[in-house]
Structure 1
């Protein structure tokens, strides 16, 4: 079975090489847990391997997104394998104002891309902004289309969802559609911030029985230790 490496060595090892082809993975994070950086690492790893990457950002400009990527991956350079699409223009940084004033339909545009293009790796950062600006059924329908797309193309999609920011019914529906669920937690312990990742489910893959402790470093995500779930 083909697998897509995340670029996080410890995680890839525990997943037997990476995320199985045909998977739609939902990254559910507490704010500040670092899901965005995981998607950067996933995208950079894909470009390194010569794979085509589509990165969709819904809540900031492409320029700001690339500035953020460069903090962790300063040597990363875009090429024909990397497509970055932002739904926020330089004219306005307000998502609602942009969606109201523009004739451009972001949700419809994503659907068009899914119907007409093929990518090895697809990233949506993040789903919350679409849920706030569209009918929930439209967003769920898009999520289902993305699930079918990655299975047909034997590709992988990763989508960020901020925990607790949408109705629990919507969140549970998205969880049921997703092939994989990774939960990212952040907590303050004494004098340090600790971040942990749990693989809740991942079809076509043995789910690790561990909670992964990770740090955000100048080179992206680094996992050093495994903690047994009791």
Structure 2
């Protein structure tokens, strides 16, 4: 399922904000707090195309169960457990990607602890492979008080960055999505306020201070 300027994210409001979708051959870095509902986004990202879902922390069965219990989800990605030797297994997975497909890595955090030179080689290898298949890779990364040693490298290598943040105000959780980077495209001037109570939609309220 493609759109005017690229592949749909599976979330129409985001497609509109980035001019139509993600360019084929892109790496998307999706950064989110651990306690947020970031998995909702991952499940939606898997909807438009054939998707391989690589889990590096949670078990394969927990991912499948969570997807099954998500009412808004209609996707059935192939889920693989890459908790053991994730770099090697994900490299092999990228090599198996079909044309115009999606790979989700949930999460990239364990891989960021590798030697910087080895991690750079890994990211370059991914970029070369997805360029050949015109696919996209989504790297799910957790926000933390202690920044992973290669997080800045991940940001540098990514073509697009989505940054999810959450705060509490008057007993309500406020969710904001910033898009600070979109290589070769335009980015929204302001963060997008989201409502995650029932799926993913734009929050129409204006009080974001």
Same fold (TM over 0.5): yes
CA distance in 2, matches of 1:16, 1:117: 25
Structure 1 residue 139 displacement after superposition = 3.3
Q: Is residue 202 of structure 2 the alignment partner of residue 223 of structure 1?
A: yes
Change over 3 Å in CA distance of 1:137–1:53 after alignment to 2 = same
The TM-score normalised by the length of structure 1 is 0.77
Q: Is residue 103 of structure 2 the alignment partner of residue 122 of structure 1?
A: yes
Q: Is residue 86 of structure 2 the alignment partner of residue 83 of structure 1?
A: no
Aligned CA-pair RMSD: 2.7
CA distance in 2, matches of 1:177, 1:39: 20
Matched residue pairs, number? 205
Structure 1 residue 215 displacement after superposition = 2.2
Q: Which of the residues 18, 27, 36 maps onto 2:39?
A: 36
Q: Is the 8 A contact 2:44 2:73 kept in 1?
A: no
Where 1:127 maps in the other structure, the secondary structure is: coil
CA distance in 2, matches of 1:187, 1:206: 26
Change over 3 Å in CA distance of 1:111–1:15 after alignment to 2 = same
Structure 1 residue 225 displacement after superposition = 3.7
Where 1:108 maps in the other structure, the secondary structure is: helix
Structure with the bigger percentage of helix: 1
Which residue of the partner structure matches residue 138 of structure 1? 118
**Greater RCO, CA 8 A, separation 6+:** 1
The TM-score normalised by the length of structure 2 is 0.84
Q: Is the 8 A contact 1:4 1:21 kept in 2?
A: yes
Structure 1 residue 186 displacement after superposition = 0.8
Q: Is the 8 A contact 2:162 2:177 kept in 1?
A: yes
Q: Is residue 194 of structure 2 the alignment partner of residue 214 of structure 1?
A: yes
**Cα deviations across residues 2-37 of structure 1 (Å, max 9, x unaligned)?**
511122222111222222222101111122233222
CA distance in 1, matches of 2:75, 2:40: 16
